[in-house]
Each structure stands twice: as C-alpha cells, then as structure tokens.
Amino acid sequence: MRTSTINHAGHGHDSHAADHDDHGPAKGWRRWVYATNHKDIGTMYLLFSLLMFFIGGSMAMVIRAELFQPGLQLVDPGFFNTMTTMHALIMIFGAVMPAFVGLANWMVPLQVGAPDMALPRMNNFSFWILPFAFTMLLSTLFVPGGGPSGGWTMYPPLVLQNGTSFPMLIFAVHLMGASSIMGAINVVVTIMNMRAPGMSLLKMPLFVWTWLITAYLLVAVMPVLAGAVTMLLTDHYFHTSFFQAAGGGDPVMFQHIFWFFGHPEVYIMILPAFGIVSEIIPTFSRKPLFGYDAMVYATASIAFLSFIVWAHHMFTVGMPLAGQLFFMLATMLISVPTGVKVFNWTATMFKGSLSFEPPMLFALSFLFLFTIGGFSGLMLAMVPADFQYHDTYFVVAHFHYVLVPGAVFGIMAGVYYWLPKWTGHMYSMKLANWHFWMSTIFVNVLFFPQHFLGLAGMPRRIPDYSTQFADWNMISSIGAFGFGLSQLLFAYIILSSIRGGVKATDKVWDGATPHGLEWTLSSPPPYHSFEIAPDVK
Amino acid sequence: MSEGSERAIMVAVVTQADRKRAARRTALLLACVAIGIYVAFIVSGILKSR
C-alpha cells in the first residue's frame, strides 16, 4: 500500500456505540442462519472451509493409504477413483475457495473502511448455498453406483457413465458456481463502491487488489463451467450431442471449455494468497512493500494471461503446431509477472528488520515452495516435455506444490496473521511454530518424491502400480499421514484462540500499523465497524 | 452531540445509501454479464453441434 495516513476520527464506532447498541448480534442460531454481518459470514465460511479441508483431507489419506504399497490393499479401484474425484472437488470448491471468500468477508470491509459488505443479504445467501451443495455432493457416496469417479474435470464420455451420482454432481457444481458468483459480485461492488473517502484504487491493500481481480475472474469463468456442465446434463438426459461423438458432438470441445474455466480457476485459488503474502512480508520486514504498483499490474497481467493458456492442459489431445507454440509461449509468459512478484517480495525483505512469527514463516515457506511449483509448471509448459509428463505423478506433484504450500499455506499464513484481530486473543506461538515446521517438512516429504515417480513414468489416478515405484510411494504416504496429523494442531490452535488466551493488542503485530485500516480497530473489532467512514489521506 | 457532528453523520448516512444504490446497480450489471456468458457458451454449443 502506498504511504497514506488515516484519520482516526473515522474509527467512529466507540463514539456512536450508544446509538447502535440495538444492532448487536442476534442470540442463538438466528445469529448464524440470518447472518448479514460480514464478520459472522466470514467466520462461517472459514469454519465451513476447515470442515471441508478435513473431509477432503480424509479422502487424501484413503488415497495415500492405498498407495502405501503396490497392489490393491484397502479399497476397490472404483472407490479409489471416487476418492480422487471427490478429494479434488471438495478441496477446490469446498476448502480453498470458501476459505478465501471467508478471508475476503472478514478483511475486505475492514481494509477498505466499509461498515459491511455492500450486499449483506446476498452474502448470507451465497454462504448458505454451500452446505446444501456439499451435502448433496457427499451424499453421492451413498447412492447406487457410488460417487462420481470420472475425475474432477468431468470429461465426457466417462462422466456420462456415472450412475445416480451424475445429476447430483452437476447440480452441486451449479450451486457452488452460483455461490461463487454471488460472493464475487459482492466483493467487486464492496471494493468499487464502499471504499473510505480518500482510499483511491492505488492506495488499497494488496489483499484487496488481488481479491478484486480474483472476483472479476470468478464472474467471467464460473458461468463457463456452469454452461459446460449444463450441456453435459442435456447430453445425458435430453439426447443432445454437444459432446457425444456418436451424435456428431465433440468430446474434445468439452476439454477446451472446461479448461477455459479451469486455468483461470487456478489463479482464482492463488491470487488471494499472493495478496496475503504481500500483506505479511512488509509487516514482518518492517518495510513498505517493494514495488506496490508493479505488484498490482503483475496481478492484472497474470489474470489476463490466465485466459489465453488453457490448452496447455490438453497438448496431448492433438492440436495444430501453431496452437501448440502459442499456448506454450503464452504459458511461459506468465512467469514474467510471477517473477516480478517473487522478486518484489524478496526485495521487500532486503535490508528489512525481519522477524519470524508464524505468519511470516508460512509466507516464506509459500515463497520457496510455490516457486518450486511454478518451475515445474514451466517444465510442463514445454510441449515436447509435456507429452512425456502428461497424466503422470509429475503433474500431481506440480499442482499440489502450487495448491498446498501455495494456496493452503497462503490461507494458513492469513489465518495466523489475522486470527488475533478476529478473536482478540493471541494464539500459542510455540504450537503454531510446531504446526509450521511439521507442515513444511511433511508437505515436502509428501509431494517432492512424486516428481521422481512422475519422471519415472508412474501414471496418476491409479490404485496400483509397478513395484519399481514402491519406495517413493511409501515415503510420499508417510509424508501424507504426517501432514494430515499436523493439521489437527491447526484446528486446535484456532479453537483455543477462539476460546481464550492472552489479550491481543489493537495493532497485534509490531510492524503492522502502516499497512491497513484493520489495525486501527480494536481486537476483536466491534460488531459494526466503520459506521462512519474513516478518512484516508 | 454537536450540530457539526450530527451533520457529519447525516452526510455519511446519505453517502452510504448512495453507495449501496450504486453497489446494487453494479451487482445487477455483473449478474447480467455472468448470465450472458452462460447463455453465450450454451448458444455457441448449440450452433456448433447443429
């Protein structure tokens, strides 16, 4: 954020608390079911996401337990495929995306000096759709034929062979999409219309900027996914032939449409994490962010490029040489704005007065490990190499490096950064450090060997494998169990902080003051904050 | 409460209401864009499969 001063008269709440004490939270279940307060809805999103993180994580444990040794040990291959499909759907749409929406709900109004999200009732609706969507999705595990097992990409004709679970999957995806679009619209209109006087766009905190761009991405691509799955549904039930070759349709067209949604979706899951890291590193370096404007333009460039690289997910289906070259080079071009970000974070730390509290540790881990995922992405962008790597564990290693120590560590960094502000209590630094070190060590034990497995030719989405892959698979599974167990500590730390602990100061972190309006509020912030907009100079 | 601060609150309230109205307009526009993209992809699918 550019240097700005804040008129604390805008803190507002205390001076007018007496006028508004009838606006406190409702009692009991009504507070949550009828919630319109951005903090309550943010909390529900975050808790929902934590629950989904554990459900999706349990499915990952089933996958890694089966892959602990070669041969079929625990589950039948059909159920294994269901686990890979459901793990992806739940982690993407149930854990990572709602976590970022939860963080946006909590932090965007606080960071732009707004009293709430612009459309609070739509905010309530967009959250409460999610439990229904995921109840429906999870209930497919109990219908005849089992849950969806054709992969989260839902490629036809395979997905059309699913039984009763198919329409439930499609309806659940529509609901998730509607929820995401409503959440995104709310973020856009809050940022565009509810900013405090004086907070120009280029004074906004980077988390707000990255979310604004993410929200535009969501509005643009979630309808594309909805269109694709609607066409799948009509192919199955109304005898259309959008994607059925037998009727003159084109199954590869689904892949194009899906990845036109799917690649921006990757950035939807990582751009807010960039924003969080851009908040944390300056705070714990006690320096302003290096190259604020460049960070904003780099984020916008990444978002733009995300629309023109989709076919790198499907080089092996065959495409003209010009198409291969275009998508290869456009994909490699993304490393330029991403490199700008990585170098700017590094330059922010240069000659800074660094300290290594848990948010900073997670941000640093993000910086190193996400970059590994970025480099393996560059390897996959090369068409001839991709023909070798495609559908191997190398791809699994790549996107898990981007999404776990990338997106998930970004979320954890954000939670550790703002948790004392939300609850008013500091958490145990010792336990959080334990959580960090266990997570960082085990995530590498889990995913790094998968690069070797992929390069050696182990295919993804299989429950059994050749004995030559046994050793690295065993190590990967041990990493998975360790990573899964260490997340119990994360849940314990959060719940402990909600229940009590050492009182947090308003500013919470020593270096936090210049970087956002949220630190001008009390910890926890009042139920209605910024009723009078603060004046940002 | 002084007259000045009362006026400040009134100005703030009016501004907030204006902002909410503007927010609803922007939201409606974005919803139309989202629905338009959804319909456009399905229509292009229909045209391609004919």
Interchain CB contact of B30 with A (< 8 Å):
yes
Instruction: Read off the DSSP letter of residue A19.
Output: G
Average pLDDT, chain A: 93
CB A143 within 8 A of CB A163: yes
A118 with B45: Cβ contact below 8 A: no
**What is d(CA A426, CA A525) in angstroms, rounded to the nearest whole number?**
14
What is the helix (H) or strand (E) element at residue A436, kind and residue range? Answer: helix A429-455
β-bridge pairing A535-536 and A6-7: antiparallel
> Given A181, A241, A242, which is nearest B34 (Cβ)?
A181
Q: pLDDT grade, residue A16 (50/70/90)?
A: very low
Q: For residue B11, what pLDDT is reported?
A: 52
ipTM score above 0.95: no
Interface of A with B in 171-230 (CB under 8 A): 181, 184-186, 188-190, 192-194, 219-220, 222-224, 226-228, 230
Cβ(A188)–Cβ(B26) below 8 Å: yes
Residues of A in contact with B42 (CB under 8 A): 227, 230-231
Query: Is B30 within 8 Å of A186 when comparing Cβ atoms?
Result: no
Q: What chain B residue is nearest to A192 in terms of C-alpha separation?
A: B23
| Model confidence, pTM | 0.92
Chosen for mutation from B9, B33, B41 (greatest number of chain A CBs closer than 10 Å) is B41
Which residues of chain A make contact with B8, given a CB cutoff of 8 A?
A: 532
Nearest to B12 among A194, A231, A533 (CB): A533
Between A493 and B10, the higher pLDDT residue: A493
Q: Which of A106, A95, A115, A135 is nearest to A41 (CA)?
A: A106
For residue range A410-432, list pLDDT tens digits in order: 999 999 999 999 999 999 999 99
For A217, which residue in chain B has the nearest alpha carbon? B34
Q: Is B45 an 8 Å CB contact of chain A?
A: yes
Closest-CA residue of A relative to B8 is: A532
Report the distance separating Cα A338 and Cα A436, nearest Å: 24
Residue A457 to residue A475: CA distance in whole angstroms: 17
Per the DSSP assignment, residues forming a β-bridge with A425 are: A503
CA A88 to chain CA centroid, nearest Å:
12
**pLDDT grade for A514, boundaries at 50, 70 and 90:** low
Model confidence at A18: pLDDT above 60: no
